[in-house]
Amino acid sequence: MSRQANLAKIHIAKKDLGMEDDAYRAMLMDVAKVDTASKLDFHGQYAVLQRLKELGWKPARGLKVGVT
C-alpha cells in the first residue's frame, strides 16, 4: 500500500469510529509518538491501523489493512 492510501485509511477509520480530535491525537501519540498522521513512518502507519482495528474499526470489504 502507498503512503497516501494508508493515511486515507487512517482518516476513514477515525471518522468511522467517531473519534474526537483530542482522542485521535492522543492515540497517535500513544501508538507512534507523533501528533499528526502526516509524521507517521512505515511502522507507525501499520501500528496505528492495528490500533484502530483493536478499537473496533472494520475496513470496508476489499480494503486491505496494513502496509505492503
Q: Which residue has the higher pLDDT, 46 or 61?
A: 46
Return the biggest CA–CA distance within the chain. Answer: 30
pLDDT at 2 over 70: yes
Distance CA 66, CA 43 (A): 10
Is the pTM value of this prediction over 0.75? Answer: yes
- Asked if 28 contacts 19 with a C-beta cutoff of 8 angstroms, the reply is no
- Asked if 28 contacts 13 with a C-beta cutoff of 8 angstroms, the reply is no
Is 17 exposed, middle or buried, given 0-12, 13-18 or 19+ CB atoms closer than 10 A?
middle
Distance CA 58, CA 56 (A): 6
